[in-house]
Amino acid sequence: MPTRTEVRTARVALLPDAGGQARLDLRGGLVSPRVVRQGAASAEVALIATTATLLGGDELRLSVEVGPGLRLDLRDVAGTVAYHGRGQGCLVAVSLTVHPGAVLVWSGEPLVVCDGAQVVRTLDVEVADAGRLLLRDRVALGRTGQAGGDLTCRTTMTYGARPALVEELTLGARSRTGAGVLGGARVVDSVTALGWRPADTRAADSEPGTAPYARADGAGRRGAAVFTLHEPGALARQVVTDAHASALPHTWARWTAELPSL
């Protein structure tokens, strides 16, 4: 049986009130939003787990909305760990909506899939024309010393109602170590900018839209690749053995500096 009988969607919404000032609409679920700071046109909110998650049968649902002309900075206090499900799968479903002229910045902590866990993670993003999103998304297969469970990530992003990124990543216990998948790595780190093309991608390739992989170092790690999206935006991605080995914090800092501060 599922571990929870009631599924509540956590919500973080920054919307303009009748006077044009920013107001927060917060609701808790398996994660609870906490206000870090709030201004006339911006806010920073932290997400805190309300209980041990994710267990078999859990559904973590989160809806985030940023109103026109406002900026929301969202952050996780800690990573999300999916534990052995004892035969039950779990779901992480995230929906992000960014209105015209709005900015959403979310530096997400890793989703860790432990041995025996079966996780489906969906990410549905709608960014309106003139809206901007900067998102860091990390998934890790297993804790230290573990191989990790099964993970399926489905991502759909639109800009101005036009497809910008549609992706499905399935990492099964038997298939992920093959050539062209993860090999010996267990962490997939991604930074996505949508609504503008970052000026600083740090690497230009003769192949349009792609920055080359850096040469592998002595530990066999490879550098990040940067892909230009069809709509205004870019995706930087790196596959590493350990999360701390990723070079994407540098990319995150450079792209964050290009965003307007409200």
Supply the pLDDT for residue 145: 74
Residue 256 phi, psi dihedral angles, 5° rounding:
-60, -40
Contact indicator for 67, 38 with CB cutoff of 8 Å: no
Residue ranges of the chain whose pLDDT lies below 70: 1-6, 173-184, 202-223, 262
What is the rounded CA–CA span in Å between residue 131 and residue 146?
A: 40
What per-residue confidence (pLDDT) applies to 50?
A: 84
- On whether the CB atoms of residues 192 and 137 are closer than 8 A, the answer is yes
The set of residues, in sequence order, having a beta carbon less than 8 Å from that of 116 and lying 6+ positions away, is 83, 84, 85, 86, 149
- Read off the pTM: 0.87
Q: What is the pLDDT of residues 133-143, one digit of tens each?
A: 999 999 998 88
Contacts of 105 (CB under 8 A, 6+ apart): 71, 72, 73, 74, 133, 134, 256, 259
Residue 69 pLDDT: 95
pLDDT at 245: 82
The pLDDT value recorded for residue 104 is 98
